[in-house]
Amino acid sequence: MIGLETRTCLRFFLLSGLFLFMPSCGPQGPAETDRAPNVILIVVDTLRADYLGRADLKTPVLDEFAREGVEFDKAFSHVPITLPAHTALFASRYAQVHGVVNNAQEVPIELPLLANWLGQNGYDSQAVISMGTLAAQKQGTWLDRGFDQYDDDMADLIGGEELNAKLFPVLTELKGGDPFFLFAHYSDPHVPLNAHGTAEHPVELIFDNEDPIHLECSDSISLEKKMRFSVGEHRLRLNSNARNELDFVVNRLRIQIQDGHHQRLLKIKPIVGHIGAALRNQEFTFEVPEVDGQAELDAEFYIWINEETGPVEMVRRYELEVEYVDRMVGLLLDELRSLGLYENSLIIFTSDHGEGLGTHELMGHVHHLYDEAIHVPLMIKLPRKDSRFERLQAASDQIARHIDLVPTILDLLMLPDLPGQMGESLLVDQPRIHFAETRQPAADQDLVALRDEQFKMIYRVEEKRFEMYDLVADPQERLNVYQEMQHMRPDWIEQLKTLAKANLQVERVLDEDTEEMMRALGYL
């Protein structure tokens, strides 16, 4: 974990040398309403900015939401990893300052967070999340701190339909009470990517010589089932019956028995394949021990599998997932309207990071800082009687950073700043410089980057090598112009070297269960 003294020095450096643009806030505020506006933050995990508003994709809900609110076309995440990106957003601090640079790290207990701050100012804070990387491994040491209710009760990953089934009762309870802050986190389109009915891949699960259990794994699927096993060795076979040549992956496999007042996890031995392997047929064995002289024992069986796809099919399924999550967010917005909560709510829509889909010959998002990994959508809808739409619109052509969201929310609510916040309110029309990083051990190597309206410079720390891109002439970041154009941003060279030296001690809370989950989600 980064120490307090180091964090203070880095914060001073980042603010004094790079990013200090002090706001000149005007007097105009929201019109009087009967109650303070609600705050609803919708984050769609792994959603690239350039996959919305496209003629070849059906995203009518978010396209209309962008027209109704204010859309920031140049919005960026600070880390292409879920937990660090969300922590930067909620704390208004860069990752190397708040100290969380990988998943499975504890969030420092002294770190001020938005939910805490809104709670101290009369807000009921609720969260419903959809992915295990945001689940609190130990209460109060994750982003759950400050939420009155933080619903992370799930196995590993749930889709938008399941998330909405959890969200809607929460909204019903919140209606008519104190003003609320709601954090809704959708995991579509994070891997594994679903086919949404456009493909079939049946898999049979066969215990010993019992009748098969049929699963369809073209959509990522998990099965929890109560079973009963006799004492002794058992065999589980998984056979693909797909007509295509695609393999399937067993992400998670767990069998628990009741041993007195405790659950005992059985050791599962791979015979053909293993957890995380992509094959068409796999086989495992496990031993059920004798407990209190019982010949048979009750057990809880859990498996999570999905189809393994190549790069071309991944892109197609990513598009399907984007269209799907658009529909799911649409249902959420409709529910807000039906409950009378939409008009008086400040609604922010964004993503934690993007996804590499073959550009730069890269898939995924952890290992690079090109725009496909950090350029995110950002849309803000003001409460109905707030008169500051034009101020927000005037600033929408500037760079917007995730660290700017908390200051913007608090500015719009006319509440005090979050202590130590490093961002600036987006109500202020001013140029900003964006800083991003990705760190080992999740990333292959440490990378840090700076960008403004025209240029991006990336420093590969271990290689001591720089890349630079003219984003106006080369928005796809194909041509490295560092040798020819480094003189255009000479200060960035030393600044990036300094930022790369952050004394980070990455201590991840990785038990066997968490390690399996993170591997299945592509983080190990």
Tell me how far the alpha carbon of residue 283 is from its chain's centroid: 33
Of 355, 453, 353, 323, the C-alpha closest to 54 is 323
In the block, residue with structure tokens 């500051």: 388
Band of residue 515 on the pLDDT scale cut at 50, 70, 90: low
pLDDT at 139 exceeding the cut of 90: no
Arithmetic mean of pLDDT, 351-357 = 96
Band of residue 95 on the pLDDT scale cut at 50, 70, 90: very high
Q: How many secondary structure helices (H) and strands (E) does the chain include? A: 13, 26
> Would you state the structure tokens that stand for residue 67, as one six-digit string?
């027209």
Is the backbone of residue 100 left (phi > 0), alpha (psi -120 to 50) or beta? beta
Arithmetic mean of pLDDT, 258-280 = 90
What string of DSSP letters covers 25-86? --S--PPP-SSPPEEEEEEETT--GGGSS-TTS--HHHHHHHHHSEE-SSEE-S-SSHHHHH
Tell me the three-class secondary structure of 143-186, residue by residue: CCCCCCEEECCCCCECCHHHHHHHHHHHHHHHCCCCCEEEEEEE
DSSP state of 283: E
Arithmetic mean of pLDDT, 329-357 = 97
In the block, residue with structure tokens 């209460």: 139
- Say what the pTM is: 0.89
pLDDT at 165 exceeding the cut of 70: yes
- Rounded distance, CA 329 to CA 349, Å? 10
Residues 6+ apart with CB under 8 A from 176: none
Under 8 Å between Cβ of 188 and 160: yes
pLDDT above 70 covers a percentage of the chain that reads: 89
pLDDT at 133 exceeding the cut of 70: yes
- Edge-to-edge, what's the strand order for the sheet holding 378-381? 70-71, 378-381, 345-350, 38-44, 180-186, 124-128, 149-151
Q: What is the pLDDT of residue 104?
A: 86
- pLDDT tens, position by position, 185-217: 999 999 899 999 999 999 999 999 899 999 999
C-alpha dihedral sign at 141, 426, 376, 167: positive
Q: What is the pLDDT of residue 32?
A: 37
Arithmetic mean of pLDDT, 228-234 = 96
Band of residue 524 on the pLDDT scale cut at 50, 70, 90: low
Under 8 Å between Cβ of 359 and 476: yes
Under 8 Å between Cβ of 215 and 240: no
Band of residue 253 on the pLDDT scale cut at 50, 70, 90: very high
Band of residue 245 on the pLDDT scale cut at 50, 70, 90: confident
Q: How buried is 22 (Cβ within 10 angstroms: 0-12 exposed, 13-18 middle, 19+ buried)?
A: exposed
Across 94-247, the runs of DSSP E, i.e. the strands, are 124-128, 149-151, 180-186, 202-207, 213-216, 221-230, 232-240
